[in-house]
Amino acid sequence: MVLDEAPISEADEIFDQDMAPLEAPSKDWPQVYDPLRAYLEEIKRYPLLSREEETQLAIRYKEKGDVEAAYKLVTSNLRLVVKIAMDFQRHWMQNLMDLIQEGNIGLMQAVKKFDPYRGYKFSYYASFWIKAYIIKFIMDNWKLVKIGTTQAQRKLFFNLRKEKERLEAQGIEASPKLLSQRLDVKESEVTEMDMRLASGEISLDAPLDHDSTDTHKAFLPSRDIPVDDMLADAEAKAILHEKLKRFREGLKDKEAVIFDHRLLTDEPMTLQEIGDQFGISRERIRQIESRLKKKLKAYLEEEVEDLELLQESLIDAS
């Protein structure tokens, strides 16, 4: 996971743009999208709010529990949910309304969690709650493999094919043993996932239909949708970036290398590589990494509000 700080001004630009009512799908769309067309027509009647109006409504809800204020916050951002859901539709080859419904739940959660005194724009803050719920829904319901089971399975699901291709491009045989070392998982787990991906349940290289050149592989949920993408260009990301920077300043040599090359990278070094660098065993590096993760978790729980949204990506995505 790469944590590149995004200027807050750029983020404001994105959400300060007037979100014009979204067009309903054309008549050429499949019949399954009729409910979506009706829904888009329905939500057009809810007015968009200015940043100041959102803030005032959020204060009324936070201080007085004003349900009407919460209702206005939700309804004025329903088009934002649709926009975000459409961005994720390529990862969900079924009814788009499924994603919209999950996004609406995330929007309501954002209303409950939002602190108007921290200076965030509500629709901006709500966007990463909406995306979090949509992504979790896609991952929980992806039929090829239940992704959210173990860290090793998630790592293999998203990286096994990529690592195979990288080795083969170098003329190296991508054996289960070598793959397990490169991805830091058990050899048996590599073999199991390889069989599941190659099983008759679905052919990843098969076209979606006889008229299509797109394959099922192209529609797999991507590892490129971590939570820091959800926070991209958001004030929350800038805060998180600063907290991680301060955390790293207090690390010793081995911890700093593990932090940089294991926890904050899309292509982590293996435990053995770091062990060789310091002249210690692979197991000793694993112990240091485990202790470091616990230390990082405790630090973020103390320093970052609403950590539950970020925790899995920060601690488990290594």
Domain ranges of the chain: 8-141, 151-219, 250-316
| C-beta pairs of 86-89 under 8 Å, 24+ apart in sequence | 86/22, 88/131, 88/134, 88/135, 88/138
250-316: CATH topology is: Arc Repressor Mutant, subunit A (1.10.10)
pLDDT computed for residue 131 by the predictor: 87
pLDDT computed for residue 224 by the predictor: 42
**How much is the mean pLDDT over the chain?**
73
State the pLDDT confidence band at 243, using cuts at 50, 70 and 90.
confident
pTM above 0.85, yes or no: no
Q: Which residues partner with 215 through β-bridges? A: 207
State the pLDDT confidence band at 58, using cuts at 50, 70 and 90.
very high
pLDDT computed for residue 215 by the predictor: 46
pLDDT digits (tens, 9 = 90+) for 157-213: 667 878 888 888 888 888 889 988 888 888 888 887 776 665 433 333 444 344 444
- DSSP letter at 253 equals H
CA dist 305 and 18 (Å) reads 29
pLDDT computed for residue 151 by the predictor: 66
Q: What average pLDDT does range 290-314 have in this prediction?
A: 70
Query: For the residues of 58-114, what is the DSSP string, one character each?
Result: HHHHHHH--HHHHHHHHHTTHHHHHHHHHHTGGG--S-HHHHHHHHHHHHHHHHHH-
8-141: CATH topology is: Four Helix Bundle (Hemerythrin (Met), subunit A) (1.20.120)
- Alpha carbon dihedral 236, 306, 293, 140, in 10-degree steps, equals -100
CA dist 73 and 125 (Å) reads 12
pLDDT computed for residue 20 by the predictor: 42
Contact 194, 188 (CB under 8 A): no
Contact 244, 18 (CB under 8 A): no
Q: What average pLDDT does range 16-42 have in this prediction?
A: 59
CA dist 57 and 67 (Å) reads 10
pLDDT computed for residue 78 by the predictor: 96
Q: What's the per-residue H, E or C state across 131-190?
A: HHHHHHHHHHHCCCCCCCCCHHHHHHHHHHHHHHHHHHHCCCCCCHHHHHHHHCCCHHHH
pLDDT at 301 over 60: yes
